[in-house]
Amino acid sequence: MDKTQIERLQQKALLIRRDLTEMLFRSASGHWGGSLGLADVFTVLFFGGILRYNAKKPEAKDRDRFILSNGHIAPLYYTVLEHAGFFGDKKPALRKIGSPLQGHPSHTHLAVVETSTGPLGQGVGVAVGKAIALKMQGSSARVFCITSDGEHEEGSTWEAVASAGKYRLDNLIYILDRNHVQISGTTEDVGNLGNIGARYRDLGWEVLEVNGHDIGKLLRLFDSFKYKSRKPRIVIARTIMGKGVKQIENDYHYHGKAPSEKEYLMAMAELK
Amino acid sequence: MNYQLNPNLLSNDVERKSARQGFGDEITELAKGNKRIVVLDADLGESLRLEEYKKKFPSRFIQMGVAEANMISVAAGLALEGFIPFTSSFACFTPYQAVSQIRISVAYNKANVKIIGGHAGIVTGGDGASHQALEDIAIMRSIPNITVFSPCDYWQMRKCVKVAAKISGPVYIRFSRRDVPMITTGKTPFRINECQVLRDGTDGTILAHGESVYRALLAAETLYKEKKLDFAVLNVHTIKPLDEKTILKYAKRTRAFVVVEDHQIAGGLCGAVSEYLAENYPIPVQFVGIRDKFGESGDPEKLLKKFHIDVEDIIEAGMKIRERKRMFVYNK
């Protein structure tokens, strides 16, 4: 890792923020805030040499499995897939009839999507199933699962966490988007999450924390995944919902909203 | 067609065995020859007769604890990686505790998951309404991509399990807890797209699934002997996809249906058959099923009577449908 790599990734993250804002503005519906917030994490995973994938062979056996359990930040996922070359020369539109870019990621519409998500608390469990399967098959592939703090209000999320701890799934890595914001307000006002890290530790996980916008730190931490752990791992990435567009940062009203024309122009002027 | 049924079928000392034993026996047999089969359990393995399987294939038995929703998600993950997972629980837990997981992670994904729903119906008895799944078929058959089986006995259960492993895609198998008369034998053929004509007739047709098939046969026998009415009996073991061809054939031939099930009329086989007939060949249909009620604790036989889904109720429905048939103006 060197300075130029960090700068290159920062540039990439900026481009991805611009492109996903453009995508959302064109579709006039979709989740903007969380997509901006996790752009740095996605950039490091996909373009920092962490995740093993082959855009030409999205179903290659030895690929790392990537699951977006909080499916509503699909605009970020799709933008990253496009940058990674998964769509070739095509530029499919978000949320339009016949498009593979469904409002929430769909396995039936897009092969690279490991499992359809949308309702919270499911992708996290499918990730556990895939991790068990890969271990049974003796595969060295790993399962990366993105999840959100709001998703931890679902009981089934904790069922998945408990089962991964029970089976010591050392090939499973969750990355938690800890932005404290959900659709109706803050996670403190809406739900009751307690100490997330402590809950994970109690259930047999290794808990790591990082500033979700510090590319250098993210790179260093994610790079450590090449070393084996004896437990499933969770990275609690502290993020800011709406990161990069000052006027909407941390404002829960922008959780589930696409930019208006005015907001779009303002954002594009800022994301430079 | 010669189904090679149990010759003892209508005698008082007919052999009885549970469908859940059929599950345990067949899954153990299947797993020997197919390494892709795995079983996930939500703490009910003994009730679903999995002791033998567990002993023989410990590495392919995954205990998920009392967490049905996650069991279904994990099964979907295993299926998407090439395994053939069977999830085992009671029908009152899967589907109910995991409907969203079944809908998105299994059905929408077309994940090759086989969902076992035991202890179904009011005949679950003592455990009471909470444990008497009466809406499971309605839930499962209304979700796209899912095949729904309701076998009538031990041997048919074994065949459903075997066929389920062969089909690529989600399957739900519902069955009751107790020992029930063996209607079929190991030699009886089983075809997914063909319901079984267990008895031919011209005055009407009784359609049933699960252990209700036996009561339908007893009712048809009485209608014939005591009322001189000749009813056909169809064993609709596959509720989805529905064997529309045979159903249409018997609608045309007998012009009167009685549909019987230990399930709510809404959304069950009663619903499925009516939906098909309404659009294709409207004829009078009489329902013998649960009428928008919860069950209660009690002896299964007494519950069948109290909730009007017993043999006597089928006979009464047969008499009624005969009257309605006489009054009905059929389309030419």
Domains delineated in chain B? 16-181 (3.40.50.970), 196-327 (3.40.50.920)
Contacts of A146 (CB under 8 A, 6+ apart): A38, A41, A66, A67, A68, A69, A70, A73, A174, A175, A177
- Say whether B181 sits in a helix, a strand or coil: strand
* Contact yes or no for B78 and A124 at CB 8 A: no
Our answer to whether residue B68 is catalytic in this structure is yes
* pLDDT tens profile A97-123: 999 999 999 999 999 999 999 999 999
ipTM above 0.90, yes or no: yes
Nearest to B77 among A108, A117, A129 (CB): A129
* pLDDT tens profile A221-241: 999 999 989 999 999 999 999
The rounded distance, in Å, linking the Cα atoms of B106 and B283 is 36
pTM over 0.95, yes/no: yes
pLDDT for the residue A20: 97
Least confident range from A191-195, A224-228, B222-226, B287-291: namely A224-228
Shortest Cα–Cα distance, A238 to chain B (Å): 27
List the domain range (segments joined by +) for residue A158.
Answer: 3-270
Res. B2: pLDDT tops 90: no
Mean per-residue pLDDT over chain B, rounded: 97
- Residue A67: closest CA among A144, A150, A176, A159: A144
Residues in chain A: 272
Asked if A172 and A139 touch (Cβ cutoff 8 Å), the reply is no
* pLDDT tens profile B10-28: 999 999 999 999 999 999 9
The rounded distance, in Å, linking the Cα atoms of B312 and B317 is 9
- Residue A126: closest CA among B109, B253, B267: B109
Nearest to B74 among A117, A128, A134 (CB): A128
Percentage of residues of chain B with pLDDT beyond 90: 97
pLDDT for the residue A2: 81
User: Which residues in chain B (109-168) have CB-CB distances under 8 A to chain A?
Assistant: 109-111
* Catalytically annotated residue among B68, B275, B301, B316: B68
Asked if B162 and B30 touch (Cβ cutoff 8 Å), the reply is yes
Give the mean pLDDT of B29-47: 97
Least confident range from B33-42, B264-273, B320-329: namely B320-329
The rounded distance, in Å, linking the Cα atoms of B159 and B10 is 22
How many angstroms separate the most distant Cα atoms in chain A? 53
pLDDT for the residue B70: 98
Q: Which residues of B touch A117 (CB under 8 A)?
A: 104
* pLDDT tens profile A176-215: 999 999 999 999 999 999 999 999 999 999 999 999 999 9
Res. B1: pLDDT tops 90: no
With CA atoms as reference, the chain A residue closest to B111 would be A115
B100 close contact with A: CB closer than 8 A = yes
- CATH number of the structural domain spanning residue A178: 3.40.50.970
pLDDT for the residue A250: 95
Q: What is the DSSP string of B193-251?
A: T--EEEE--SSEEEEE-TTHHHHHHHHHHHHHHHH---EEEEE--EEES--HHHHHHHH
pLDDT for the residue B332: 60
Tokens of B94: 């899967």
* pLDDT tens profile B46-79: 999 999 999 999 999 999 999 999 999 999 999 9
The domain total for chain A is 1
Better-scored residue on pLDDT, B252 or A1:
B252
Q: Which residues of A touch B59 (CB under 8 A)?
A: 136
pLDDT for the residue A1: 62
Q: How big is the A-B interface in CB pairs under 8 Å?
A: 103
- Say whether B32 sits in a helix, a strand or coil: helix
Nearest to B77 among A108, A121, A128 (CB): A128
pLDDT for the residue B314: 98
A20 close contact with B: CB closer than 8 A = no
Asked if A124 and A161 touch (Cβ cutoff 8 Å), the reply is yes
Res. A264: pLDDT tops 70: yes
Indicate the burial class of B220 (C-beta count within 10 angstroms; 0-12, 13-18, 19 or more). Answer: buried
Mean per-residue pLDDT over chain A, rounded: 96
Residue of A128, A156, A157, A203 to mutate for B, most B C-beta atoms under 10 A: A156
Indicate the burial class of B225 (C-beta count within 10 angstroms; 0-12, 13-18, 19 or more). Answer: exposed
pLDDT category at B288 given cuts 50, 70, 90 is very high
Q: Please enumerate, as own/partner, the contacts of B249-255 that have beta carbons within 8 Å and a separation of 24 or more.
A: B250/B197, B250/B205, B251/B205, B251/B277, B251/B281, B251/B283, B252/B281, B253/B202, B253/B205, B254/B201, B254/B202, B254/B203, B254/B204, B254/B205, B255/B204, B255/B283, B255/B284, B255/B325, B255/B328, B255/B330
pLDDT for the residue A3: 85
The rounded distance, in Å, linking the Cα atoms of B175 and B178 is 9
The rounded distance, in Å, linking the Cα atoms of A133 and A209 is 28
Q: Which residues of A touch B112 (CB under 8 A)?
A: none
Res. B213: pLDDT tops 90: yes
